[in-house]
Amino acid sequence: MIKVSGLTKDYGARRAISNLNFDAQQGEIVGFLGPNGAGKTTTLRILTGYMPPTDGEAIVAGYDVVEESIEVRKRVGYLPETVPLYTDMVVFDYLKFMGDLRKIPNVESRVDEVLDMVGLTDRAEGYIGNLSKGMRQRIGLAQALLHRPEVLILDEPTIGLDPGQVVEVRELIREIGKERTVLLSTHLLNEAQNICDRVLIINQGKIVAEDTTENLQARLIGAERVVIRVRGEADDLAKTIQQVKGVQGVETKPDGAVEFEFSSGKDLRPEVAKKVIGSGYDLLELRPLGMSLEEIFLELTGPDNKKK
Amino acid sequence: MRNIWTIAKREYDNYFSGPLAYVVAFAVLFLLGIYFALIMFFTSQSAAMGGPAPESTPLNWLFVFLMIFLSPALTMRLLSDEARMGTLELLLTAPIRDFELVAGKWLGALMFILTLAAATLVFPIILNNFVQPSIDWRLVISSYIGLILVCSALLGLGVGISAIFTNQFAAFFTTLGLFFFLWFMISLPAGLLQGGQGGEVFKYLSLSSHFTESMNNGTIKLGDIVYYLSLTALGLFTGTTAIEIRRWR
């Protein structure tokens, strides 16, 4: 459904993305991960027909994004990063307007349908300007779903939502992704893990890794990091933990917790727990820290990686 | 075409959700009303001494004159504000052509002006009750055709300029400056180059002469229609190009 080859975009002298190659099949949810300024939004904008690439080719739903831009736009649902909305419009009227632009038959009943999908039926008559950020996000999503697009492109779809809504929206995306192609960008690894079949990691305009979420994690996570908290002094605790063989990178945090890590595959948590309790501490918390995207990036692009 | 209509309809409705359109409508109708009262007063004075019958065309002249100053306010935010708020991204990823977007904005503004112009029809209708056998309706029609053509050109240029800017006030002042130049200043060299062919060119370029000297006097010439339609097309073309340039940036 999406096929990108050699995609390059320059903003003046600055190269935003360089020679990207990837594809996405029907019924696949592909995550696009990267830090700010990595080129995620630029890539998505090219795929939606918003701007043409400097070089390379992108085929979306069977049409070229430059040559047959209108055909591509008919088949793509797009949720931009900032969720631009007409704040002086009523929710229903706004969605009806977007539906009219896409020439949806029986647009009014379809608007009711998508409002129900994103759980905003009771706000249909309210002004967009009076809605919270999370609700606006959901209106943006409703707008992207209106015309039952073959390809759904979502730029940071769960940003600004409260945890309950995040779960709902992810559920919705997963549902849509069963039949359609979904390409979403995020900088949350757990989000990618949660909903994506496949992940592309992009940094400085280049794809640095592409794999299924499980493989990626197994490959990238060389060490597991754990946070531990006890009743008592963190500094003394750090010294105690240090004595356990295999423990590395012990760090005391300002809030009194201590973090440490060990090579993955060799879980040292039981030993650390025994040691801590044996030393007379009251253990309050022992919890693994998920590896953040930033850490994956350090792993992929940092100096250690280059040495290998 | 349907896309143009969809954009135009939203824009037309949008005018009535803010104060600006009401301010413009009030200013126009208030000043026209006062002017109308003055016309009635003076013609009734002179009619007693066998003066000419009153005309409604001076009112249309005032309408057009006011539009030089007010129409930039109607067009300033049409596209610049979409760019500022980011909603342009939605429109540019919807299956509509850039020209349809620009033309839709222009049509929405024109529909608002037409509504306002329709409200001013009350003046010739009132006037007709005081004149025997009746006022010259053909003159009124010619005058209104001229009025619509001038407004079409003004709004076309205004939309085009609005597409260039992200700041609506920059668009407002640029548009106002251009209209001022085209209305008052571009014909000035004509006076200096009297007799020569060069003078005629500058006179032809003037926004005011085609209206005040022909259509508002009851003569419709092809050259005048072409002039205003060309300006409209130029404005819409500028706007479409500006949107395309935005895509490439």
Question: To which residue do tokens 């340039």 refer?
Answer: B245
Element containing residue A199 per DSSP (H, E) = strand A198-203
Where in the sequence is the domain holding B130, given as residue range(s)?
Answer: 2-248
Average the pLDDT over A203-230 and give the result: 74
Chain A positions contacting chain B at CB under 8 Å are 11, 45, 48-52, 70-71, 73-74, 76, 78, 80, 82, 84-89, 93, 97-98, 100-103, 143
Say if residues B102 and B80 touch (Cβ distance below 8 Å): no
Which residues 103-122 of chain B have a CB within 8 Å of chain A?
Answer: none
Tokens of B102: 């620009």
CA distance B104 to B95: 14
* Domain co-membership, A195 together with A231: no
Cβ-based contacts of B18 with chain A (< 8 Å): 88
DSSP class per residue in A122-178 = GGTTSBGGGS-HHHHHHHHHHHHHTT--SEEEEESTTTT--HHHHHHHHHHHHHHTT
pLDDT, position A305: 46
pLDDT, position A97: 94
A101, A136, A145, A155: best to mutate for the B interface, most B CBs within 10 A: A101
Which chain A residue is nearest to residue B100, measuring alpha carbons?
A: A101
A94, A100, A103, A127: best to mutate for the B interface, most B CBs within 10 A: A100
Phi, psi of B186 (to 5 degrees): -70, -25
For strand A151-155 and strand A181-186, is the pairing parallel, antiparallel, or unpaired? parallel
* Domain co-membership, A127 together with A270: no
Give the ranges where B48-167 is alpha helix by DSSP (H): 57-75, 77-85, 88-92, 98-120, 122-128, 137-164
Q: Do A78 and B93 touch (CB under 8 A)?
A: yes
User: Could you say which DSSP state residue A28 is in?
Assistant: -
Cα first-last separation, chain B:
28
Domain count, chain B: 1
Does the residue A133 lie in any domain? yes
Average the pLDDT over B121-125 and give the result: 92
Cβ-based contacts of B3 with chain A (< 8 Å): 101
Query: Three-state DSSP class for A246?
Result: coil
Q: Of A153-162, B71-80, B113-122, B192-201, which range is least confident?
A: B192-201
Is the predicted pLDDT of residue B135 greater than 70, yes or no? yes
Going by pLDDT thresholds of 50, 70 and 90, the confidence category of residue A264 is: low
Say if residues A183 and A24 touch (Cβ distance below 8 Å): yes
Going by pLDDT thresholds of 50, 70 and 90, the confidence category of residue B162 is: very high
Q: What is the pLDDT of residues A54-98, one digit of tens each?
A: 999 999 999 999 999 999 999 999 999 888 899 889 999 999 999
* Domain co-membership, A165 together with A204: yes
* Domain co-membership, A258 together with A111: no
Tokens of A120: 């905003």
Where in the sequence is the domain holding A237, given as residue range(s)?
Answer: 222-290
* Domain co-membership, A186 together with A37: yes
* Domain co-membership, A212 together with A87: yes
Element containing residue A231 per DSSP (H, E) = strand A223-231
Of B13, B86, B96, the CB nearest to A82: B86
Q: Which of A191, A219, A247 is the last residue of a domain?
A: A219
Question: To which residue do tokens 């126009």 refer?
Answer: B28
User: Could you say which DSSP state residue A127 is in?
Assistant: B
* Domain co-membership, A66 together with A45: yes
Tell me how many degrees the CA angle A261-A267-A268 measures, rounded to the nearest 5.
65
Q: Which residue has the higher pLDDT, A246 or A10?
A: A10
Q: What is the mean pLDDT of chain B?
A: 89
Phi, psi of A107 (to 5 degrees): -60, -35
Does the residue A243 lie in any domain? yes
Of B3, B7, B92, the CB nearest to A50: B92
Q: Do A101 and B248 touch (CB under 8 A)?
A: no
Cβ-based contacts of B95 with chain A (< 8 Å): 70-71, 73-74, 101-102
Going by pLDDT thresholds of 50, 70 and 90, the confidence category of residue A217 is: low
For strand A55-60 and strand A2-11, is the pairing parallel, antiparallel, or unpaired? antiparallel
Q: What is the pLDDT of residues A224-263, one digit of tens each?
A: 778 888 887 778 788 888 888 778 778 888 777 888 877 7
Which chain B residue is nearest to residue A82, measuring alpha carbons?
A: B86
pLDDT, position A237: 80
Longest alpha-carbon distance in chain A = 72
Which residues 61-100 of chain B have a CB within 8 Å of chain A?
Answer: 85-97
Q: Do B6 and A101 touch (CB under 8 A)?
A: yes
Domain count, chain A: 2
* Domain co-membership, A127 together with A214: yes
Of A51, A71, A80, the CB nearest to B247: A51
Percentage above 90 pLDDT, chain B? 63
CA distance B114 to B183: 21
Average the pLDDT over B42-58 and give the result: 80
Q: Which of A186, A219, A252 is the last residue of a domain?
A: A219
